[in-house]
Chains A and B, each alone.
Chain A
Amino acid sequence: MRNLYKTYISILTLFLLFAASSVYAQQSDYQIQQDFRAELTELLSRVELAVTAEELDAINSEIDALQQQYSEHSGIIDAALYPETFESTITNIREIRLSAFNNLAVIEQLNEQIEGLSAEMDLFRNRLAQMTQETTSLQQQIERAEANERRQASLIRQYRQNIEQRDNFVSEFLQELLSKYQRMDSATQQEIAEGIDRLDQNPLDMIRTIITEYIQIADQSTGLQTPDYVAMRAQHGYFESVWSQIGERLTTTFAPDSPVQVRQEISDMLAAWLASVDNKLWGSLTTAFNQNGINLQPFATPDDFNTALNTFVDRAYEISLESNNEADYEVFRNFRDFWNNTVKASWGEALITGNILSPAQIATIDIKLNDWGEAAQPTSNLMFILFLISMAVIVLLVVLLIVRK
């Protein structure tokens, strides 16, 4: 029985071999190379259209299979493809696939970058919106609490803190933009520029939103004082400095179609923001100096302010030189204390960052203040009286000596 089974298997195997050889015999060489070309073309097309690394991995396996399937017909294919060969076409498609794979890796990295950027923008936008809501609510509460001074003061404190938080948050955002885009190479810029369509909001949109809200805060500010406006100008100064460093890269990357126009638009917005801050700042500074008994000549620009300070100190110095009485010295002490304890100690950094006064200008006032202090020091008559007494004693002694003789 077992022998019969073996015989049956052998006959079946022989039949299958014969059938297989018959099938092979019925193949057309022309058709084989046509099929090879068709499969190769299809694979090439799929390589071009592949959008994931997985697809390209699968195609790699199919290239292996294609090579294996047609290697026995390489002679026919060589003849058909002359001067190319079966091997050269397989090598070629492998190289194309590898190149596509590498390109895809770059694209996938870019996708991740865009997604990360998008998530970052969402986070930032939400936080900023929340802060704006808080600011608006505090403004309304301050207006409603006019009757209650203590409550209003407390709300203004909160309002001020809210603005500080926003400044810190925006500064962090700008710092991140700086670190990301300041040294970004043009190739990466180009890659991101190609993917910006997928971003709901790009950093340029965020910058527009931030500036618009800053303008609103400056225009609608309630209960704020000089340090707040000085801080606003400082924030503007920092913003402008960051923009001058990365504005060009940002506009080239995120507004590739019209970088110059967008750069101009944001520069105009920055100018409007500064005008809004200045509109409040100079009045507030004048009031602050006046409240401390210092009447400066009118000013409406940083240069004017510097001139007003210098003019005040120069005139006071001249007056002190002419009549250094106690009243002049009081004027000096008053200015010195306000200058040192408030202007320099509390506002100094912000004045510099906000381009209101430069360190050199502050140093000049310090030197002049020193001279003024010396000139304003009231001179004592005690020494003169002692001198007169001494002279009188000497004269008396001389007279006594002459009389005794």
Chain B
Amino acid sequence: MKRTTFLHSIMILVLVAGTLACGTSLVIEDVDYSQPLESVLVPDANNQVHDQRYAIKLSITPVLQEEGISGVDEIRLIRNRAGFYFITASRFSHVYVFEPDDGELKLKRKIEITGDGLGQPAFNQRNTHIELVDMASGRTYNIDQNGIR
């Protein structure tokens, strides 16, 4: 009798666990977050940039502080297929890769490109990566959220 009760309890637990597991396992796969074109954004007096098209508004002050630059004319922003944001600008030495979270962007990686600072950077969306082109030097870098490929 005790054994039967125990088995019943186990079965109920398995059923409950299975039901709960089904409820949280709804996943949409292969989501493509990629922006076909980079956004070239001009910061306002408070270093805020607003991308109307892709609906994102952020302050670039932390990035500027990280680069040790007081201000830039424009920043270049692109989102890759996986949903990471890539930010850089002229005179930046790095590309900053951010991961979106609740009301914030968390730095995923800081990719060092050149110690001299980029001349005229531009992001291109490619199938498997983001292409960073420095139009001034003519150099090209293939990058993703993990760094230079």
Please give the residue numbers on chain A whose beta carbons come within 8 Å of chain B beta carbons, in ascending order: 22, 25-31, 33, 75-76, 79-80
Residues B140 and A25 in contact, CB atoms below 8 Å apart = yes
**CB contact between B138 and one of A22, A29, A75, A76 (< 8 Å): that residue:** A22
* A80 CA / B37 CA spacing, docked (Å): 7
Task: Find the A residue at minimum CB distance from B120.
Answer: A28
**CB contact between A26 and one of B37, B40, B125, B138 (< 8 Å): that residue:** B138
Residues A26 and B133 in contact, CB atoms below 8 Å apart = yes
Residues A28 and B36 in contact, CB atoms below 8 Å apart = no
**CB contact between A75 and one of B36, B131, B135 (< 8 Å): that residue:** B36
* A269 CA / B131 CA spacing, docked (Å): 83
B36 CB, min distance to chain A CBs, angstroms: 3
Please give the residue numbers on chain B whose beta carbons come within 8 Å of chain A beta carbons, in ascending order: 36-38, 40, 76, 122-125, 131, 133, 135, 138, 140
Chain A hits for B140, CB < 8 A: 25-26
Residues A33 and B135 in contact, CB atoms below 8 Å apart = no
Residues A30 and B40 in contact, CB atoms below 8 Å apart = yes
B111 CB, min distance to chain A CBs, angstroms: 18
Chain B hits for A75, CB < 8 A: 36
* A76 CA / B135 CA spacing, docked (Å): 18
Residues A30 and B138 in contact, CB atoms below 8 Å apart = no
Task: Find the A residue at minimum CB distance from B137.
Answer: A26
Also in contact, A28 and B124, with CB within 8 A (given A76-B36, A79-B37): yes
Chain A hits for B135, CB < 8 A: 26, 28, 31
* A174 CA / B133 CA spacing, docked (Å): 76
**CB contact between B37 and one of A22, A25, A27, A30 (< 8 Å): that residue:** A30
Chain B hits for A31, CB < 8 A: 122, 135
* A33 CA / B125 CA spacing, docked (Å): 13
Main secondary structure of the interface of B (DSSP, over half): strand
B79 CB, min distance to chain A CBs, angstroms: 13
Main secondary structure of the interface of A (DSSP, over half): helix
**A/B pair count, beta carbons within 8 Å:** 37
Chain A hits for B138, CB < 8 A: 22, 26
* A184 CA / B125 CA spacing, docked (Å): 62
Also in contact, A25 and B36, with CB within 8 A (given A30-B122, A31-B122): no
Chain A hits for B36, CB < 8 A: 29, 75-76, 79-80
**CB contact between B133 and one of A25, A79, A80 (< 8 Å): that residue:** A25
- Can you give 21 contacting A-B residue pairs, CB < 8 Å? A22-B138, A25-B133, A25-B140, A26-B135, A27-B133, A28-B38, A28-B122, A28-B124, A28-B133, A28-B135, A29-B36, A29-B38, A29-B124, A29-B125, A30-B38, A30-B40, A30-B122, A33-B37, A76-B36, A76-B37, A80-B37
A273 CB, min distance to chain B CBs, angstroms: 72
* A275 CA / B135 CA spacing, docked (Å): 87
* A283 CA / B36 CA spacing, docked (Å): 97
* A405 CA / B62 CA spacing, docked (Å): 175
* A31 CA / B74 CA spacing, docked (Å): 14
B1 CB, min distance to chain A CBs, angstroms: 70
Chain B hits for A80, CB < 8 A: 36-37
Chain A hits for B76, CB < 8 A: 30
Give me the 7 closest cross-chain CB pairs, A-B, nearest first. Answer: A28-B122, A79-B36, A29-B124, A25-B140, A30-B38, A26-B138, A26-B133
Chain A hits for B123, CB < 8 A: 30
B77 CB, min distance to chain A CBs, angstroms: 11
Task: Find the A residue at minimum CB distance from B140.
Answer: A25
> Which of B36, B40, B125, B135 has the most C-beta atoms of chain A within 10 angstroms of its own C-beta?
B36
* A30 CA / B124 CA spacing, docked (Å): 8
Chain B hits for A30, CB < 8 A: 37-38, 40, 76, 122-123
Task: Find the B residue at minimum CB distance from A29.
Answer: B124
* A308 CA / B125 CA spacing, docked (Å): 105
B143 CB, min distance to chain A CBs, angstroms: 14
A228 CB, min distance to chain B CBs, angstroms: 85
* A29 CA / B38 CA spacing, docked (Å): 8
Chain B hits for A27, CB < 8 A: 124, 133
* A79 CA / B40 CA spacing, docked (Å): 15
Task: Find the A residue at minimum CB distance from B126.
Answer: A29
> Which of A27, A30, A31 has the most C-beta atoms of chain B within 10 angstroms of its own C-beta?
A30
* A181 CA / B33 CA spacing, docked (Å): 68
* A31 CA / B134 CA spacing, docked (Å): 12
* A224 CA / B4 CA spacing, docked (Å): 146
Task: Find the A residue at minimum CB distance from B35.
Answer: A79
* A26 CA / B141 CA spacing, docked (Å): 10
